[in-house]
Structure 1
Amino acid sequence: MTQAHAADGRQPGFFARWKKPLTIAFFLLLIVLFTLLARRIDWSEVLATLSDFKLRTLLIAAGLTLCSFLVYACFDLIGRTYVRQPLRWKQILPVGFISYAFNLNLSAWVGGIAMRYRLYSRLGVSNGNIAKILGLSLATNWFGYMTLAGAVFCSGLVTLPPGWKLSSGALQGVGVLLLLASLSYLAACRFSQRRSWSVRGIEINLPSLRMALLQLALGALNWSLMAAVIFTLLPKNLEYPVVLGVLLISSIAGVVTHIPAGLGVLEAVFIALLQHEASRGSLLAGLIAYRAIYFILPLLVALVMYLGVEAKAKALRVKKTPS
């Protein structure tokens, strides 16, 4: 028996022993994170802000949000093709939607990693393939970001206020570097002779150029839709490319601070960069509406979807249990 087979032989006993404690710990973590998230949000301010918007505006923002979540869920469809996993799109899209909603609100560890592992394992996907799907989803998201941010930053549409450590000229330089990184990835997918690497026992294969271009298109489209939601809710005198650029800057700040949902970071960056074009009150009102529509509402929908998945799985276990 090889070492790999021996390892496989030990896995059922290990997971059977720790599955229940880990499941309980997982749900306790969700309860704690939901509580912390709820305490950070001024719900009266959210409701008051939303009540000031026209219904048509809110519906447009909600429609764009749905499109964005569906596009993000399609990242996992690319992952399914990448790992050659025989799953239907009806099985994949709910996983992507639920994971994205939890990821935005409760950090990548809960949404991007723990939630995907739990949901995909129920679909019979191996841990190795789950890791590959997760990795490709992350790559799609940030590859699209790099390409879009590189183009926007290079254009000079976003002007940084005086006193910032990063000048507007330096931001354009960052844009050039991001575009070069994106082009390098595409070139590697097209011309690289070596197509696979092994990282901690997981084989990573370089995607084809066609798949890489699809990653670029979907990743950039998702970021563009996020900006469109914000643009719909902010004062009408602001231009869409400027809103997109500020969102791309604030997203990096949110990643660096590691704050769930980037609470406070998004608002601070938008107000700092756009307060010379719109009042702080109108900017903050639009961003609160954005959080309610793009973060909170999908999280509530995803929670219902997740509870439905758990209930269905429990029913299947009861059905399989011999009487």
Structure 2
Amino acid sequence: MTEPSAPPPAPRDRRTVLLRRLRYAAEAAVGLALLGGAGWVLHREFSKVSLADVLAEFERLPQVGLLLSVLLTIASYIALLVYERLGIAYVRAKVSLLRSSVTGFCAYVFSHNLGFALITGGSARLRLYGPAGLSVGQIVLVSTFTAWTFCLGAALVAGVSMFGEADRIARLVAGPPIVTHAAGAALLLGLLAYLLLGIRRRHVEWRGRRLETPGPVLTPLQIVVPAIDIALAGLALYVLLPNLPIGPVGFVGLYVVATSIGLASHVPGGLGVFEGAMVLMLPELPTESLLAAMLAYRLIYYLGPLALATTLFAAASFRKPRR
């Protein structure tokens, strides 16, 4: 006797699958386009740069600047751990400060270096928060909450900088500054709308699920804390660059725009895409100095924490879970 065949999928399910595939294809196309554009910019700008000159500039980096970059990197990751705690508070989970710090640090470092933050960071949280008793749903919510929190902080910094540094940012799209002003205004208005919505305790229906807004305490912190983190991360690169034509506030704005483009490309660490965007926005800097500073920044902000996070993740993974 043969088993009855499964019923054909509903039209709505087919549409959902099709739209999901189209979204993935669009994301891949955008990523490839950004990577290709970055490759063209880097080839054009760095084709006449010799490795010996870059290494010579790297050796001439000031010790004070390197030390400040390390300290600012540490402060930036501390701010990251703060909004890991915001995510824990949002899902109302009981997790020790030590566990959330180790888990958040590993998740952020892996997502920074490997890309695809929700996958890489979520996998680290699943491995380290699972033994603490968090459900899969809670872990997914923490990952989504923290990723969204970063986007809110980036929107605040980018929205402000699109008015102060509109001419430089407009070079990325080869358009007039008015386009940059409009994009900045849209970001700031969107943040204001989210703030007004989030400070009220209510439920929002999204894709058939009922989500609770963060409330009057978490919502403002969602915007302010990641903005501080982004500012510290940008300053960690700023102190390595000599003779900048703009101040630290303006530079942080350029940094968050370049970082956002790198994240949109889904290239691990935004490698190449971030550098290409910075080259376009800072044409006054000598190419050798810019490349040497970015190399040092990659070592300090990305590879150094990656080695530490890998060690912590391995040690935490082998610990016996508490009953």
TM-score under structure 2 normalisation? 0.77
Aligned residue in 1 for 2:162: 153
SS at match of 2:302: helix
> Greater RCO between the two (CA within 8 Å, min separation 6)?
2
Aligned residue in 2 for 1:122: 131
Q: Does 1:82 align with 2:90?
A: yes
Q: 1:113 aligns with which of 122, 127, 143?
A: 122
Deviation for aligned residue 1:311: 2.6
Q: 2:199 aligns with which of 190, 203, 207?
A: 190
Counterparts of 1:200 and 1:215 in 2: how far apart (Å)?
Answer: 24
Counterpart AA for 2:71: G
SS at match of 1:204: strand
Deviation for aligned residue 1:110: 4.7
SS at match of 1:233: coil
Question: After alignment, is 82-91 or 170-179 more displaced?
Answer: 82-91
Gap regions ≥5 residues in structure 1: 1-42
Indicate the percent of aligned positions where both proteins have the same amino acid.
27
Aligned residue in 2 for 1:307: 314
| Residues 101, 48 of structure 1: alpha-carbon distance in 2 compared, 3 angstrom cutoff | farther
Deviation for aligned residue 1:245: 2.0
8 Å Cα contact 1:154/1:175 also seen in 2: yes
Question: After alignment, is 249-258 or 178-187 more displaced?
Answer: 249-258
Q: Does 1:142 align with 2:151?
A: yes
Aligned residue in 1 for 2:73: 65
Matches within 5 A, 1:44-63: 50-63=58-71
Q: 2:304 aligns with which of 278, 292, 297?
A: 297
Deviation for aligned residue 1:151: 1.1
Deviation track 1:10-59 (CA, whole Å, cap 9, x = no partner) reads: xxxxxxxxxxxxxxxxxxxxxxxxxxxxxxxxx99998765432332212
Q: 1:216 aligns with which of 220, 223, 242?
A: 223
Deviation for aligned residue 1:255: 2.4
Deviation for aligned residue 1:131: 1.2
Aligned residue in 1 for 2:266: 258
8 Å Cα contact 1:104/1:111 also seen in 2: no
SS at match of 2:61: coil
SS at match of 1:235: coil
Counterpart AA for 2:224: A
Aligned residue in 1 for 2:232: 225
8 Å Cα contact 1:103/1:112 also seen in 2: yes
Aligned residue in 2 for 1:169: 178
Deviation for aligned residue 1:185: 0.3
Counterpart AA for 1:82: Y
Matches within 5 A, 1:92-103: 92-103=100-111
Deviation for aligned residue 1:292: 0.8
SS at match of 1:85: coil
Counterpart AA for 2:234: A
8 Å Cα contact 2:171/2:280 also seen in 1: no
Q: 2:291 aligns with which of 271, 275, 284?
A: 284
TM-score under structure 1 normalisation? 0.77
Q: 1:244 aligns with which of 241, 252, 266?
A: 252
Counterparts of 1:53 and 1:295 in 2: how far apart (Å)?
Answer: 18
Aligned residue in 1 for 2:112: 104
User: What is the number of equivalent residue pairs in this alignment?
Assistant: 271
Counterpart AA for 1:290: Y
| Residues 233, 166 of structure 1: alpha-carbon distance in 2 compared, 3 angstrom cutoff | same
Deviation for aligned residue 1:197: 3.2
8 Å Cα contact 1:158/1:242 also seen in 2: no
Deviation for aligned residue 1:154: 2.2
| Residues 304, 241 of structure 1: alpha-carbon distance in 2 compared, 3 angstrom cutoff | same
Counterparts of 1:58 and 1:212 in 2: how far apart (Å)?
Answer: 35
Gap regions ≥5 residues in structure 2: 1-50
What RMSD over aligned residues (CA atoms) do the two structures have, in Å?
Answer: 2.5
Counterparts of 1:312 and 1:131 in 2: how far apart (Å)?
Answer: 22
8 Å Cα contact 2:242/2:289 also seen in 1: yes
Counterparts of 1:270 and 1:241 in 2: how far apart (Å)?
Answer: 15
Deviation for aligned residue 1:89: 1.1
Aligned residue in 2 for 1:268: 276
- Give the structure with the larger helix fraction: 1
